[in-house]
Structure 1
Amino acid sequence: MPLKRRYLMAFAAAIAWLLGSVPAMAEPPPMQDFRAFIASLWPDAKAAGVSRKTFDAAFAGVKPDYTIPDLDLPGRPKVDNTGQAEFTKTAADYLSKPYLEKLAVQGRQFLADHKAALERIEGLTGVDRYTLVAIWGRETAYGSYHPPNDAIQMLATLAFVGKRKDRFHDELIAALVMLQQGVPRLDMKSSWAGAVGLTQAMPTEYLKFAIDGDGDGKIDIWRSVADALAFTARQLEAKGWVRGARWGYEVIAPTHADCSLEGPPDARPIGDWVKMGFKKAGGRPFTKAELSSDAYLMMPAGAYGPAFLAAQNFRVIRLYNTSDLYALFVGNLGDRICGGGDFATPWKSFSQPKTRTVAGIQSRLQQLGFPMDKIDGKIGSNTRKQIGLYEKSNGLPIDCWPSERVLAHAESQAARR
């Protein structure tokens, strides 16, 4: 056999073996199933006040988009965080100093340009102008980013085959109500998760909190800065915003403390944290009011970065977007716009683990009796805390960070049971 042909046959055999070793993606649901699902929505839409004309026009030509994250499809990994920067970047990368500095400069100019509206909204809701501007900057870079997706298509896909069908069913019905109320279909451009408007909020939030912020007699969160800011402020106010309080504080932890203390379940008065040896970064003492307020320890990179005491307003920002990194980004950007600077403690060198590694650790720790409420591959405060407690109970170095080292150890322990 000629040498060239032999190489080609060997190459073809290798490719065939590789393809055979990778599970093929199953065919997505047939289009008729999607159409049947859309038809099943009509009673709920009608009950919400949506006309048949609006309903039919909304779904005309709409097809599911199976490329977006968070779908429960045959052949797709059950843990899938593709496309979500909060879960695919390290804290150091997500909280990029150059990007934060850039947004802070733009934010100070934005603050000056919209001073009157921001002061009025702050007076009415108690939500400080710096946080509002920071949210605007994080969501759409002060309006320069325009989401490319059709909100109805995104929400219909997520309600049809998403992992959180009930939630997105409600969001889809709310989006139809928005159309019924006169929101132009061309304005219904969204993120992959269906968030709309200049500050990117879900349709159910729009129906609850959108108001006329500029007094022109209409609500337009797509073009009116005042309307968008007032809408965001009302959401934060309703979620429990504390007027005049900070989101939280960067702290320096004492040497005898570690990241296994992290998380909302260990919230306590800041005065108690001070008694344990925690100090505000920068050296200034906490005020009397601050000492009496509750906060929990939050270390988004485990032992590889800064530590924070997350207060009530951090929790509120996190309710706006369920991510520690998002809330920290907004809090720090607001501080920078107000004149603050970078974090006092530098980020150490560390890598972002693969989603399957995080999910594997969560699964094994749950099996070993550690309270792990979700197996989702996301590095939240409880995952970091439980890793720290596992490391502590097994005499391992405590860094509270998901790694192949921790996974291998936990798998060996689980195998002995």
Structure 2
Amino acid sequence: MLLNRPYSVILAVTWIAAVCAMASSAAFAKPSTEFSAFIEGLWPDAKVAGVSRKTFDTAFAGVEPDLTIPDLDLPGRPKIDNSGQAEFTKTAVDYLSKSYLQGLAVQGRKFLAEHKAALERIEGLTGVDRYTLVAIWGRETAYGTYHPPNDAIRMLATLAYTGKRKDRFREELIAALVMLQQGIPRSDMKSSWAGAVGLTQAMPTEYLKFAIDGDGDGKIDIWRSVADALAFTAKQLEGKGWVRGARWGYEVVAPPHADCSLEGPPDARPIGDWVRMGFKKASGNPFTKAELASDAYLMMPAGAYGPAFLAAQNFRVIRLYNTSDLYALFVGNLGDRIRGGGEFVTAWKSFSQPKTRTVEGVQSRLKQLGYPMDKIDGKIGSNTRKQIGLYEKANGLSIDCWPSERVLAHAESQAAGR
């Protein structure tokens, strides 16, 4: 508050605010002309995709970019840690909140009973189990109670215009225009900031590929028909390689000689090999013969500070639906809880989520030191954790596979001495 500050300070702050406001207005004025030119440049692609000029013009009437959303490439804009997404800004223990998961599981079991016939039909058609489908809907919109507030066309146009992944969102924007051309009401095109639509929040390109009539009424309505929305989600998972009758993965206990540097898809191997290395189900139950023959990779979302999992093919498929280890683990675990189990056996330890600049710094320095770091993006994926573990092991550091100031300082000193 300014009320208790000297008048001169108030004047100074007011002047600074006015200058910032003028600069902001100037920054927004320039993109208006450029944005209009960008939109017009979309027309050839939209026309080829079958969009009429009337649909095109109506879709963009009055649309201006929303430069407040995450994941934009704007000069001079302070960087938002990991685009503000919970999957990248929360620790695993916070993201996988026990109370939140338990609440969604209770709701999920009730929902499962109410939509039993439709879920059984969809499961039979696609092979995707009902528990995973209900878990996805629970995670995305809390079983339909959350209604995204944004205009999908505006969000996608902004991201295609000045986002960090312009080409991807240009494709999504054209797909959204095709949806309008097919008769989807503009009022239904409400989305997250990233343009995902419908009860289970999916991108327009996915809608065009996989949306089906799930309730048999001759229409596809992923906004109001639960059966249509769930059938659409199931078709997406089926199309991405879902294995019928298989689990997403297993919480495991690692042997003393193993550590988190074994993590990641490149080290996937038959579960039987993990068992021979000393890994066991955390539940104490043995793996079945079929499970032992299936491939899985070690996934430790908190490095050495939490449970370990063997992530199987269906985990990979869920991750293709939303590219985050924590998201896939949340869905898998929520599905297990709806089924009647799902409590984590290994306790989470105390640890903190590093700043994006710390993660980027660790990634950059390890790449400089010769570690295969494919992305410098400030996101803590399995490869980042793995390479940190390998670096710690090679340099005699305690192994936690976690991007910390400790690891960053050590890697910077190593890089400086080269």
Partners of 1:71 and 1:412 lie apart in 2 by: 32
Residue 133 (1) aligns with residue 126 (2): no
Letter in 2 for 1:139: E
Partners of 2:156 and 2:217 lie apart in 1 by: 30
Q: Say if 1:70 and 1:80, in contact at 8 Å, map to a contact too.
A: no
Per the alignment, in what secondary structure is the counterpart of residue 172 of structure 1? helix
Name 2:353's counterpart in structure 1. 352
Percent identity, please: 85
What is the CA distance between 1:16 and its match in structure 2? 11
Name 2:19's counterpart in structure 1. none
Name 2:250's counterpart in structure 1. 249
Q: CA 1:140–1:415 in 2, change beyond 3 Å: closer, same or farther? A: same
Partners of 1:401 and 1:14 lie apart in 2 by: 41
Q: CA 1:10–1:38 in 2, change beyond 3 Å: closer, same or farther? A: closer
Name 1:21's counterpart in structure 2. none
Name 2:71's counterpart in structure 1. 70
Q: Say if 2:81 and 2:355, in contact at 8 Å, map to a contact too.
A: no
Partners of 2:10 and 2:114 lie apart in 1 by: 63
Partners of 2:39 and 2:201 lie apart in 1 by: 25
What is the CA distance between 1:10 and its match in structure 2? 9.2
Name 1:391's counterpart in structure 2. 392
Partners of 2:262 and 2:12 lie apart in 1 by: 53
Name 1:237's counterpart in structure 2. 238
Letter in 1 for 2:209: K
Partners of 2:96 and 2:329 lie apart in 1 by: 8
Q: How does 1:9-408 map to 2 (within 5 A)?
A: 27-28=27-28, 29-77=30-78, 80-408=81-409
Partners of 2:80 and 2:8 lie apart in 1 by: 37
Partners of 2:9 and 2:172 lie apart in 1 by: 53
Letter in 2 for 1:146: H
What is the CA distance between 1:9 and its match in structure 2? 7.3
Q: Say if 1:72 and 1:78, in contact at 8 Å, map to a contact too.
A: no
What is the CA distance between 1:81 and its match in structure 2? 1.7
Q: CA 1:45–1:240 in 2, change beyond 3 Å: closer, same or farther? A: same
Letter in 1 for 2:27: E
Structure 2 unmatched ranges of 5 or more:
17-22
Q: Say if 2:81 and 2:89, in contact at 8 Å, map to a contact too.
A: no
User: Please, which moves more after superposition, 84-93 or 74-83?
Assistant: 74-83
Partners of 2:80 and 2:364 lie apart in 1 by: 12
What is the CA distance between 1:342 and its match in structure 2? 1.1
What is the CA distance between 1:8 and its match in structure 2? 7.7
Per the alignment, in what secondary structure is the counterpart of residue 30 of structure 1? helix
Partners of 1:215 and 1:315 lie apart in 2 by: 30
Letter in 1 for 2:354: P
Q: CA 1:12–1:401 in 2, change beyond 3 Å: closer, same or farther? A: farther
Letter in 2 for 1:89: K
Partners of 1:10 and 1:183 lie apart in 2 by: 54
TM-score of the aligned structures, taking structure 1 as reference length? 0.94
Structure 1 unmatched ranges of 5 or more:
18-23
Q: CA 1:9–1:221 in 2, change beyond 3 Å: closer, same or farther? A: closer
Q: Say if 1:247 and 1:312, in contact at 8 Å, map to a contact too.
A: yes
What is the CA distance between 1:282 and its match in structure 2? 1.1
Partners of 2:342 and 2:126 lie apart in 1 by: 26
Per the alignment, in what secondary structure is the counterpart of residue 65 of structure 1? coil
Q: Say if 2:132 and 2:332, in contact at 8 Å, map to a contact too.
A: yes
Letter in 2 for 1:32: T
Q: Say if 1:79 and 1:377, in contact at 8 Å, map to a contact too.
A: no
Q: Encode CA deviations 1:79-105: one digit per residue, 9 max, x unaligned.
A: 742320000000000000000000000
Letter in 1 for 2:105: A
Q: Say if 1:135 and 1:330, in contact at 8 Å, map to a contact too.
A: yes
Q: CA 1:275–1:223 in 2, change beyond 3 Å: closer, same or farther? A: same
Partners of 1:369 and 1:352 lie apart in 2 by: 25
Q: Say if 2:319 and 2:325, in contact at 8 Å, map to a contact too.
A: yes
Q: Say if 1:79 and 1:376, in contact at 8 Å, map to a contact too.
A: no
What is the CA distance between 1:341 and its match in structure 2? 3.1
Q: CA 1:258–1:247 in 2, change beyond 3 Å: closer, same or farther? A: same
Q: Say if 1:281 and 1:344, in contact at 8 Å, map to a contact too.
A: yes
Letter in 1 for 2:41: S
What is the CA distance between 1:233 and its match in structure 2? 0.3
Partners of 1:111 and 1:190 lie apart in 2 by: 25
Q: Encode CA deviations 1:252-297: one digit per residue, 9 max, x unaligned.
A: 0011100000000000000000010000011100001000100000
Superposed structure 1 runs of 4+ greater than 2 Å apart: 7-17, 24-30, 76-80
What is the CA distance between 1:125 and its match in structure 2? 0.3
Partners of 1:15 and 1:362 lie apart in 2 by: 41
Partners of 2:342 and 2:137 lie apart in 1 by: 19
Please give the root-mean-square deviation of Cα atoms over the aligned residues, in Å: 2.1
Partners of 2:306 and 2:362 lie apart in 1 by: 21
Partners of 1:80 and 1:88 lie apart in 2 by: 7
Letter in 2 for 1:127: V
Name 2:20's counterpart in structure 1. none
Partners of 2:8 and 2:111 lie apart in 1 by: 63
What is the CA distance between 1:370 and its match in structure 2? 0.5
